Every structure is written in structure tokens, then in C-alpha cells.
Amino acid sequence: MSHKIMVALLNNEVAPRFDLATDVLLAKIKSNGEINERIIVLPQASADDLCALATSDHTDAVVCGGIDDEHYQYLKWKGIEVLDDVIGPVKKVIQAYKDEKLSCGDNFYKP
Amino acid sequence: MGQQFLLPDLLNEVPIGIAVLDIEGRVKLVNRAWQTITGADPESMQDLKCYLGLRCDYCFKGCPVMADKADFQTVSIDADIIDRTRAKVPIRLNISPIVSSDNVISGYIETIQDIRQVAELSSSASKAYSLGGLIGTSPEMVKIFSMVPSIAGTDSSVLITGETGTGKDVLAEAIHNASDRAGAPFIKVNCGALPETLLESELFGHVKGAFTGANEDRPGRIKLAHNGSFFLTEIGDLPLPLQVKLLSFLDDKVIHPLGSSRGFNADVRVIVATHRDLKKMVQEKTFRADLLFRLNVVHLHLPPLRERGDDILLLKNHFLMAYCDKFNKKIKGFSKKSAKILSAYRYPGNVRELSNIVEYAVNFCDRDLIGSSHLPAYLTEQDILRPVTESAHATQERMVPLEYSSAQNWDDAEKQMIMDTLLKCGGRKGEAAARLGWSRSTLWRKLKKHSING
């Protein structure tokens, strides 16, 4: 079964603030391991818009750094898994998600 | 002075969050207050770019360190961060370059202060008859307001009692803010929210290797509250072994983290709160009598809302103004019928419930006045102004009484309220949580607490 994941971006790493991210990476991980990625650039930073994008795209999981409780609860309520407090380069993060090893609070820069 | 001092230890005693950054804006050192405000683990922040740890909006709105500016003067600005509990915290941020003797920038000093209280004070409307968020004109409340300044001036332990939703947490924070410790941390721990093993580590900290999974040293919440106030809510839920350890701390003010032989002298003012009858618990031997005597130096009791007379009217209007501001609505007041319903209701959930009711009404009101149709269904579906009459057909109503009699305690009333709402929502928890004015996680926690399955 394929999985859809949304990563809030700051350059090539996970954005430290969900509400301030203007770029997001939408990745579709197919059951055969193939990953389709596309980056969407929003006209302005908006947590509400990102939530709407996640729900309309039927995203399974959202990955970000800090997210305020209101949007966190909203996404959870919509049945979307939120992996927050994640620090690291986006490639490593997606690989970890693919390997089912990504969890809240993961820091990929930690030695 | 002739003595050598270690910089990190000195910085830990400063009640302002401090981070030392290198020339590239990477975190080299943070003090305890910085750790308390952000909630970040300092070890994992080491050598990371500051914005990954601080998560401040200013990082992306012109921070000179992020913009790699070669030359700038000290920046002082109000900003906000998202801490590790997912709360958006307003802060006052200062960034200063560290300039070496040959006038070259060799790093940066960043300081942060939690300004939540300041932000609240400047935004709230009338301060008449109020104290740090508590509002009331009833004699009981006025008496409490008059006692707070003198209590705040001492370092005695304070026991706050009162039903759920009466504002025990707000009063504790008001005491902290009125005291000399106001600039230092106010750390809150809910004894009922964590299992015993985690709670001990959360309160007193642990050292690396103390138990399986203890991969690093943790300071514990009491240590984080050093120089400030430590607030233990739901103290009645504190397990007996931890009661002994807390008693020992109250006696000598030294905390011993799990697995450590070294103690830490914590200068902390302890405030506790509970909705339980501790004296009864002492008789039942579920609460230690000596701990109760130690905590019960100053006792403040917050009366339930139903006994506060005209305060219901005052609070109702206060919440109406607050939520109209928040949701940008123009509602003038309450219709006669809705005001009558609100006055007659007994508020088992006290001020919190009244606040939730008004928030609900403001959300749903599309007119100038809040009518009875805008009030939550459980207030109006059964006319609370009439005596409850049994209907032979209303079997479901009989199973789930909508009124909460005064004989019930709050736990029973809460359980009833949850089951009632779940039934109305056809078991949909998201909808039930929204109706109750709680987050989904709160509803989930309460379902567990009351052992409601489904």
C-alpha cells in the first residue's frame, strides 16, 4: 500500500516551524519502494493552508519541527499522523519514514 | 575574588534564557532558563543552528545571525517561539554580537524572556475586581485577592483547594507573579497525568544509566524551577512513595536525581493544588499526614461558581467580551431567556465550564444577542428551569440524566457529561471533544480516567 507524506521545508531540511514554512515536499512512497516527490511553494506562510493541503491531498503523515497544539490536534482529528519536533535533512527523514523508523523528536544531526 | 567559577554553572543561576552561539549561529552553550522556556534538550542542540532549537518567528523575519550580517548592533525584539509542549510562547529576544579585542565578531549572545504574563496584562480589558486572571466581586474572592500579596511575600508552601475548574492553576500563577520570584520559572506538574515511575524521574530527574532507557542526564522539573516556583497540581494523585520523597525535599530543599549520589540545593517555592479532600485521604491512609501538615502552611480555598452569586454575571460578560474580541464578533449580550438559563445552571465544571459555554455560544451566535438556541444543547434540551419530570417513553433520557445533582461529586458529573455527549454525537469522539470544548487528547485521557470504552 502506498503512503503519502508531507514535509514542511526550509531549504533542504525539515522546517523548524510548521506555521512559517512556505515550501512543502509531498512524497508518495509506493509499495514497491519507489518514491515520487513534488515540491509546492505557497504564496505565503500559513499553517491553515498547509493543513488544508494535507487533508485535500489525503496525506498519511505530516513531518515538521515545531507545530502549535491547535494545528497538531486538528491534523490528528483529521486522521493524519503528525511527526513533529523532527530535525534533519529531508532525504534522511523520508528514508527513515520509508523504513518505518521515523518518530516525533528525531534529530538526524545528533551524533 | 580569587576563585575560579565555571561559566555554565554561573549562567544556570541567571533567570533569563541565555544561549551562546558561534560565528555561524550554532549553539555552543545554553543555560537552564533557556532550556526551561524552549523545552529543548541542550545536549541534542549542541552545534546545531540556533533556529532549530529556538524555533522563533524572528529567525525568518530578519534575524541578523541567520542573514549572516557581518556587522550589527544589539537587536531587542518581541517575538514568539513554539516550545516542546507545542505552545506558542511570546518572548522578548535580545541578540548581541560578541566582539573580540581586535574588533572582530567571534560569536553571539542570545537572551530570551517569557513575556506571557506581560502580553496577557496588556491585552486584557478591565482589571477591576481581578487578580492575574481571576475575576470576582463575591466576598470569598475579594478575601482571596486581598490575601495574595502578603502570601506572595513569603516563601511558605501554599495549598490551594477547590473543585475542578475553579481556577486553582490561575491562582497559583498569580501568587508566583506577585512574588519576588516573578522573573524566574513557574514550573507546573500534574501528578495525575503520569505513571509513578515516570513521575519520579520527571520531578527529581535522573542520571544517565539510572534505568533502562535513561540515555542521558535529565535535570527534573524541580531543578528547572530553581529560584522560581514549583506547582504540583492534583497532589492527591501523588503516589505514596513519592509523597515520602517530596516530604524529604520540603524538609531539606535538596533533590537527589534517580541514580545519583549528588544532591542539588533547589531554592524553590512549592505550591500545590487538589480538588480532593486531603484530610479524608489521610484518614483513609492514602495521603501522608506529615506531608499534609508540611504543605498546609497557607491554605486557600476557591469556592465553586454556584456559590459565588453575582460573579456568574460578571464572568459571563467578561468571557463574552473576551471571545467576541478573539473571534471578531459583535454580540451585545444575552437574551433574557438565555441569561435566566445561565443563572439557574449549577456549573459542575465551574468557571471553566462557563467559559466553554460562552465560547460555544459566541461561535454559534449570528445575531446581536445570544439566545437559548445558541447555548450548548445539554443546557436547553431539558429545560433546567423546570423540575425534572420522568417520561415513560424517554428511556434513553433516564439512562443519561442531563442534570447533575449537587449530591454527585465532580468525577461522577464529568463521567456523566462525557457519556451524554458521546451518545448525542453517536460515539464520534472528535465531535464529542469539540462539543465539550476539549481537545481530542483531553477527551481520550478522560475516557481512560473514567474507564469508558468505545
The DSSP call for residue A10 is E
Please tell me whether the overall predicted TM-score, pTM, comes out greater than 0.90 for this model: no
Q: Please report the pLDDT score of residue B433 as a whole number.
A: 85
Report, as an integer, the average pLDDT of A48-72: 94
Q: Please report the pLDDT score of residue B4 as a whole number.
A: 56
pLDDT range class, residue B358, cuts 50, 70, 90: very high
Interface of A with B (CB under 8 A): 16-17, 19-20, 65-69, 72-73, 76-77, 84-85, 87, 107, 109-110
B133 vs B376, residue with greater confidence: B376
Q: How many residues does chain A have?
A: 111
**Measured distance CA(B260)–CA(B252) in Å, rounded:** 17
CA distances B49 to A52, B181, B347, B364, Å, are 30, 32, 49, 45
Residues of chain B with pLDDT > 90, as a percent, come to 24
Q: Which residues of A touch B60 (CB under 8 A)?
A: 17, 20
Nearest CA in chain B to A75: B440
Report, as an integer, the average pLDDT of B406-421: 72
Q: Which tens digit of pLDDT belongs to each residue from B302-326?
A: 999 988 888 888 888 889 988 998 8
Q: Which residues of B touch A67 (CB under 8 A)?
A: 82, 86
Q: Do B84 and A85 touch (CB under 8 A)?
A: yes
**Measured distance CA(B37)–CA(B103) in Å, rounded:** 32
Q: Please report the pLDDT score of residue A19 as a whole number.
A: 94
Q: Please report the pLDDT score of residue B104 as a whole number.
A: 82
Q: Is it the case that residue B122 has pLDDT exceeding 60?
A: no
Nearest CA in chain B to A79: B430
Kindly state the cell numbers that stand for B361.
455560544
Residues of chain A with pLDDT > 70, as a percent, come to 99
B39 vs B128, residue with greater confidence: B39
Q: Which tens digit of pLDDT belongs to each residue from A29-53?
A: 998 889 999 999 998 899 999 999 9
Q: Do A107 and B84 touch (CB under 8 A)?
A: no
pLDDT range class, residue B227, cuts 50, 70, 90: confident
**Measured distance CA(B311)–CA(B379) in Å, rounded:** 19
Q: Which residues of A touch B84 (CB under 8 A)?
A: 85
Nearest CA in chain A to B439: A73
Q: Which residues of B touch A23 (CB under 8 A)?
A: none
Calculate how close chain A gets to B51, using CA atoms only, in Å: 7
Calculate how close chain A gets to B72, using CA atoms only, in Å: 25
Q: Do B86 and A84 touch (CB under 8 A)?
A: yes
Task: State the Cα torsion B86-B87-B88-B93 to the nearest 10°.
Answer: -100
Q: Please report the pLDDT score of residue B403 as a whole number.
A: 42
User: Of B43-47, B123-127, B330-334, B345-349, which range is least confident?
Assistant: B123-127
Calculate how close chain B gets to A10, using CA atoms only, in Å: 10
Nearest CA in chain B to A10: B60
B354: number of CA atoms within 13 Å, CB side? 30
Mean pLDDT of chain B: 83
**Measured distance CA(B33)–CA(B38) in Å, rounded:** 9
B217 vs B93, residue with greater confidence: B93
**Measured distance CA(B110)–CA(B45) in Å, rounded:** 14
Nearest CA in chain A to B52: A16
Best probe of the A interface among B26, B55, B56, by most A CBs < 10 A, is: B55
Phi-psi region of A86 (alpha: psi -120 to 50; beta: other; left: phi over 0): beta
Q: Do B55 and A66 touch (CB under 8 A)?
A: yes
User: B52 touching A, CB under 8 A?
Assistant: yes
From the list B326, B341, B311, the residue with the least C-alpha distance to B142 is: B311
Q: Do A20 and B441 touch (CB under 8 A)?
A: no
Report, as an integer, the average pLDDT of B18-22: 92
Calculate how close chain A gets to B87, using CA atoms only, in Å: 6
Q: Is it the case that residue B404 has pLDDT exceeding 50?
A: no
Q: Please report the pLDDT score of residue B432 as a whole number.
A: 85
**Measured distance CA(B192)–CA(B174) in Å, rounded:** 22
Partner-chain residue, chosen from A16, A73, A85, that has the shortest CB–CB distance to B441: A73
Q: Which residues of A touch B88 (CB under 8 A)?
A: 68
Q: Please report the pLDDT score of residue B391 as a whole number.
A: 38
From the list B306, B214, B203, the residue with the least C-alpha distance to B245 is: B203
Q: Please report the pLDDT score of residue B1 as a whole number.
A: 41
Partner-chain residue, chosen from B48, B60, B88, that has the shortest CB–CB distance to A68: B88
Q: Is it the case that residue B176 has pLDDT exceeding 70?
A: yes
Q: Is it the case that residue B173 has pLDDT exceeding 80?
A: yes
CA B224-B222-B48 angle, 5° bins: 25
Partner-chain residue, chosen from B82, B430, B441, that has the shortest CB–CB distance to A68: B82
Partner-chain residue, chosen from B52, B82, B83, that has the shortest CB–CB distance to A87: B52
Partner-chain residue, chosen from A20, A87, A109, that has the shortest CB–CB distance to B57: A20
Q: Which residues of A touch B47 (CB under 8 A)?
A: 109
Q: How many residues does chain B have?
A: 454
CA A2 to chain centroid, in Å, comes to 16
Q: Do A16 and B85 touch (CB under 8 A)?
A: no
CA distances B93 to B78, B181, B254, Å, are 6, 20, 33
ipTM over 0.90: yes
pLDDT range class, residue B262, cuts 50, 70, 90: confident
Report, as an integer, the average pLDDT of B414-430: 83
Kindly state the cell numbers that stand for B19.
544561549
Q: Which tens digit of pLDDT belongs to each residue from B27-52?
A: 999 999 999 999 998 888 889 999 99
Best probe of the A interface among B52, B57, B89, B326, by most A CBs < 10 A, is: B52
Q: Which tens digit of pLDDT belongs to each residue from B140-151?
A: 888 888 888 889
**Number of CB pairs, chain A paired with chain B, less than 8 A apart:** 49
Calculate how close chain B gets to A16, using CA atoms only, in Å: 5
pLDDT range class, residue B402, cuts 50, 70, 90: very low
CB atoms inside a 10 Å sphere around CB A49: 15
Q: Do A17 and B82 touch (CB under 8 A)?
A: yes
